[in-house]
Chain A
Amino acid sequence: MARTRVVVDPITRIEGHLRIEAQSENGKIAKAWASSTQFRGIEIIMQGRDPRDAWAFTQRICGVCTTVHAIASCRAVEDALDIRIPANANTIRNLVHGMQFIQDHVIHFYHLHALDWVDVVSALSADPAAAAKIGQSISPWPNNGESELRAVQNRLKQFVGTGQLGIFTNGYWGHPAYKLPPEVNLLAVSHYLEALDWQRDVIRLHTVFGGKNPHPNFLVGGMASAINIDSTATINAERISDLMGMITRARAFVEQVYWPDLVAIAGFYKDWGAIGGGVPNFLACGEFPEGDVRDLETLYFPRGIILDKNLAKVHEYDPKKVQEYIHSSWYEYSKGDAAGLHPFEGETTPKYTGPKPPWTYLQDETKYTWMKTPRYEGRPMQVGPLARMLVAYGSGHKDVRELVGEALGKLNVGPEVLFSTLGRTAARGIETVLLARKMEQWLGDLNGRIKNGDVATFTKNKWEPSSWPAKSEGYGYLDAPRGALGHWVQIEDGKIARYQCVVPSTWNCSPRDAQGQTGPYESSLEDNHPLVDPERPLEILRTIHSYDPCMACGVHVLDAEGREVVEVRVQ
């Protein structure tokens, strides 16, 4: 078979605008290019602004992982100004971020990723009785009964019968890469619909503490939601009991629906444990501090680096070793295109050199994306759930080791399958289960302190700019659902002088560097990766979605005065 040019643009079921180009040969992908085709330029307005406003601006980087930039921003400013937030505020942020993980990962699995593995049309021919039997064998979930599944199937039959397929139009139904029996497809479709209702309910935790979702409110110095269990207008007894219900329902769905579905579906796709591994290096900045955010010992998910798939050695992560390149990106550097710059010296001068639209291909271009190229000591790194779980596993994390062991045992496979497309998808489920179990404890911690009379949610001694030093700088880390995130802020005379972010999807979607090293997306697509039918690139979607791309990115900004260069790349 001759070499075929493949273009998938838009990549759907992700956040933002992503284009994949590839060359396929004999049913495999030989070369791949990942291109981000959107640039927003958000952060210029942050320069000269009040640093207490920064969380709201950076939050708008992404409306899917809608809390992560806000919390990272608060942490960066609090680090710069040496603000220690009350324990309650830290716990509330963990609850908010924890529910973000849980809701986001479940939505990703059912609504963004499942249709890569689940053939909706095949569910039409399922035997609901047999599907119920399977469902009840893997889970006590009450809605897996025959009558429930038959009702879902009837709805589906009517829907297909209309000929108006809506979002299912031109899906890759019947593609030979779909392996699930009709009954499992029917179960998955049923849970796709249930998850839509579930996610609306559990995310209300954000509304209780932040007033709304998407884009709940945060506050430098703590949280704005005051606690007074005897008031009608604050976090009170009614709110707490509502939260208890949400957390219980979140855990029930994760343990009884998401996790069993994930394991069951994975059992039919074990071959994907040897596909799409890609970059062998993994970076986790750590998340969920259970004490002060500066005390890395209190992180529930630890910080660290795994190199060359070696789980026996977890290396220290040093943010100073991050550099960014623009060899393949639509930017220029004052020191030339070959330079690698630490984010604190970062320059962002957009310079589009691509073809004039409308155009057809980017793969012949040296520069082909708005993404920059972060490297750690020159190495490309994967970030995200798999990186976190591998670092935790290598660090001897008890909960992670138990659950990884359980999953591998159920699938009867060895740990080598983790380094794959399937491994990324499984790791996402593993951490969701752990967090769903953790939420009860965090709410218990909060209630325990309230019971003892500690209702503080905000540290006010550094609120007024008059209490700030003339110059300060801070780093806010946060391991977001999609991976390691960092915000860096410099404050001068009460205003933001410089603001930078290094974002998970930039690590994962980075293009080729001058040494020819591909980024994680590209590397995975070039790693033993099938593509049976270039007209129906289902396999590409599987691997790209296993990263859960969040592409509202490439947001690089020039300072208005040309004084300083600000750069924000967005998850």
Chain B
Amino acid sequence: MITPSAYGWTESETLRQHLESRGVSRRDFLKFCGEIAVVLGVGAAAAPRIARALEAVKRPTVIWLQLQECTGCVESVLRTADPTIGDLLLDLVSLDYNHTLMAGAGTAVEKAKQSSMAANKGKYILVVTGSIPTKEGGIYTMVGGRTAEVLVKEAADGAAAILAVGACAHFGSVQAARPNPTGAVGVRDIIKNRPIVNIAGCPPIGDTVTATVVHFLTYGRLPAVDGEGRPLFAYGKRIHDQCTRRAHFDAGQFVQAFDDESARKGFCLYSVGCKGPATFSPCPIFQWNTRTSWPIGAGHPCIGCTEPHFWDTMTPFYGRLPNVGGFAVEQRVDTIGAALAIGAAAGIATHAAATVYTQIKRRKATHQVPETATEPENQDG
């Protein structure tokens, strides 16, 4: 999405016409729409509808602000790809401002941003990565002599929608961890009058960002979200419930130490600290880096990075979940032990009920649900 658009897309052209001029067949395009429909969780049957919407779409403007951050989220979106049709998605938008990739610098790019925001007022998509430091009048992040808070307010003013991408824009991430020396907060804590969707994760999977943009272009609104403002199509289920190692959990087969015989058999990582049971994330389904693998798949426990304030609530990372507040029931699985499969199964039932209850409680503690969000047709979250 953020590559320079080397394929020309004229103002008057629809995407369908544009694709034809680039030699993309309708068959390939429909196949792509089918895949996107699955990613979005609306079912393959919705593919024709997505196709119709995308075909008619005009190239919208994206302004991307990078605030108090590490640039990992930009890098993650750079990894988004589909070998034949990926470039196409990259062409869905006109990226008019992004520090990492812009050719010009200084006043030249600030002017470009101002003129683009003015020309597309009320229509552009604002992507924000990074948090906003609020202490000491905001002097902990300044660009061009102005603070992050001023910059994000200015850009939000004319935005149609805001994508808060990554844990920093979501809740402040690592710099907001206790005791948060710079007073770092997420976008939702500063901007109250615009629809915001939180693409959670440290960083999020790039495809989640892309799919959210497609959703916005296709349906004219942001996707339905949970209490954390995260799209349900990606964050609607717990890692634990989609995990490729779940069968081992159910069977009471746990890795007790890294690189033990159980680890070499790919058993469940719960005992070495996996936070999958408390984490809503698309990792096991979307996977990472063109579906190469994902953290648990590569043998490391989940650290819960899509959850708010995970640096405080999910640490120590190698401590079992019972050590984290709110999951005492799960201790039973552990104390019952791996050998007693029946006992473990009983533990699972209790554990499942307890965690679901916790999730419901959290979702009720709504932070900010976009005004435009409605329930999707085929919601299963």
Point out residues on A near B: beta carbons under 8 Å. 7-17, 19, 37-42, 44-45, 49-50, 52-53, 56-57, 60-64, 66, 111-112, 115, 120, 152, 155-164, 166-173, 189, 192-193, 196-197, 199-201, 203-204, 206-217, 219, 221-222, 224-228, 231-234, 242, 350, 352, 354-360, 455-458, 460, 463, 535-537, 541, 552, 555, 557-558, 560
Contacts and interface: CB of A to CB of B under 8 A. Distances in A.
Contact of B259 (A56, A164, A226): A226
A63 B181 contact: no
Contact of B109 (A19, A170, A457): A170
B312 interface: yes
Interface string B72-99: 1111101111010000000000111011
B106 A8 contact: yes
B294 interface: yes
Given A159-B6, A233-B266, A200 B81 contact: yes
Contact of A211 (B106, B182, B294, B318): B294
21 contacts: A10-B109, A12-B100, A14-B100, A17-B143, A38-B68, A40-B184, A41-B175, A42-B174, A44-B178, A60-B173, A159-B5, A171-B104, A172-B103, A192-B4, A207-B294, A211-B295, A217-B303, A219-B258, A233-B245, A234-B264, A458-B258
Contact of A162 (B11, B290, B317): B11
Contact of B111 (A9, A170, A193): A170
Which one of B21, B102, B244 has the highest number of Cβ atoms from chain A below 10 Å of its Cβ?
B102
A558 B180 CA distance: 10
Interface residues of B, number: 104
A66 B76 CA distance: 11
Contacts of B152: none
Majority SS at the chain B contact face: loop
Given A167-B4, A354-B139, 8 more contacts: A40-B182, A41-B175, A50-B316, A50-B318, A171-B103, A212-B288, A231-B265, A358-B145
B78 A199 contact: yes
Interface in B284-328: 288-290, 292-301, 303, 311-312, 315-319
A169 B8 contact: no
Contacts of B295: 210-212, 217
B13 to A, nearest CB: 9
A231 B105 contact: no
Contacts of A352: 136, 139
B316 A53 contact: yes
Please give me the 3 A-B residue pairs with the lowest Cβ-Cβ distance, nearest first. A63-B72, A233-B266, A158-B8
Contacts of A66: 72, 75
Nearest to A152: B6
Contact of A56 (B68, B98, B139, B303): B303
Interface of B: 2-11, 21, 59, 68-76, 78-81, 83, 94-96, 98-112, 116, 133, 136-147, 150, 173-175, 177-182, 184, 202-203, 205, 244-245, 257-260, 263-266, 283, 288-290, 292-301, 303, 311-312, 315-319
A399 to B, nearest CB: 29
Contacts of B133: 39-40
Contacts of A171: 102-104, 108
Nearest to A362: B145
A90 to B, nearest CB: 14
B10 A232 contact: no
Majority SS at the chain A contact face: loop
Contacts of B146: 357-358
Given A167-B98, A214-B72, A9 B143 contact: yes
A455 B225 CA distance: 44
A44 B244 CA distance: 36
Contact of A60 (B2, B72, B104, B290): B72
B258 A460 contact: yes
B350 to A, nearest CB: 27
Contacts of B104: 12, 169-172
Contacts of A170: 103-104, 108-109, 111-112
Contacts of A14: 99-100
A446 to B, nearest CB: 15
B71 A16 contact: yes
